Amino acid sequence: MRIAIVILNWNGEVLLERYLPSVVQYSEDADIYVADNASNDNSVDFVKSNFPQVKIIQNTVNGGFAKGYNDALKTVKADVYCLLNSDVEVTPNWLAPIKEAFNKIPEASIIQPKILDLMRRDHFEYAGAAGGFLDQLGYPFCRGRIFQKLEKDKGQYDDIREIFWATGACMFIKQEVFENLGGFDEDYFAHQEEVDLCWRAQNKGYKVYYVGTSSVYHLGGFTLSNMNPKKTFLNFRNSLYSITKNLPRRKAFLIIFFRLLLDGVAALRFVFQLKFSHCLAILKAHFSFYRNFWKMYRKREKSSFTKKYYITKSIVYAHFVHDVNNFNILVKD
């Protein structure tokens, strides 16, 4: 199995200096690429000077995560792509369990490892944790992470199991699957494009897996922190995009209606917290969604809405009303 590790970079010289060495050291059986999104720092020269074995792909524009990877992967040949954030530290032997899972589970098309917090190494990290899921209203959450609550890693998710979506922080995807899906939706720019990709994959019959016997450490928030209003804008808008594209029409309209109401509640909550920029970001997200609704609607593949997409009815109700912060408790409920 030929694996190509592709690290998307934008002005991330400091991250490449810190985290690329672990990728090079522990990925001897893989080809390693840095795909540069038109950086204006010294990233490319740094890689060329210090890691001549790493191949460079230079994108002509910064099209965000989605377009950046779509453009870069056109030039990469492999059986499996590993899309790896530049702020990820990998561990010894991290690739072996992934290869084994692909070989033993032929239906596995997309895989993510365990994602741990680089700053609190015994805790799961926000972006992906131990595998992603959705509730009935399309809100994403993870085993090991519900909203801002992160579980401590006690080995409770050292398993291999099917999940609904895999994180873009460290995603392994078969090349033929990525091509059959048409890659990422570039209208997302960044954030939740991996949820959409996996949702489209599920609708086509592909399966997504989590392999807890492989682990990496993710810094997170370097490009956009959780406190950045731009991230609020992208998350709220892009989640509505995914619902529009990936659910049957009648169900999609109903879910969108309830989501818009709950988004309004979230905006009021930001007002009470004096986070006015985040409230404004939600309003901008809605207006952007309205402007692009028919464009997203035309991307629907109407014949393939067969996969049950949710594992619980409302993660919002469970978390904010019943104070559920643990995935295993949520599933029992």
Q: What is the β-pairing status of strands 80-85 and 170-174?
A: antiparallel
Give the confidence band of 331 by pLDDT, cuts at 50, 70, 90: confident
- The per-residue DSSP string of 227-248 comes to T-HHHHHHHHHHHHHHHHHHS-
- Residue type for position 57: I
pTM above 0.75, yes or no: yes
292-321: average pLDDT: 86
Q: What percent of the chain has pLDDT over 70?
A: 96
pLDDT for res 228: 87
Domains and CATH numbers, the chain: 1-86 (3.90.550.10), 93-169+189-333 (no CATH)
Specify whether the CB–CB gap between 193 and 184 falls below 8 A: yes
Of 144, 164, 137, residue with least CA distance to 317: 137
Rounded-to-integer distance, Cα 216 and Cα 223, Å: 19
pLDDT of residue 221 exceeding 80 = no
Q: Dihedral sign for Cα 148, 241, 221, 86, please.
A: positive
pLDDT digit string (tens) for 99-142? 999 999 999 999 999 999 999 999 999 999 999 999 999 999 99
Of 34, 94, 112, 91, residue with least CA distance to 68: 34
Which stretches within 247-301 are classed as H helix? 249-272, 276-297
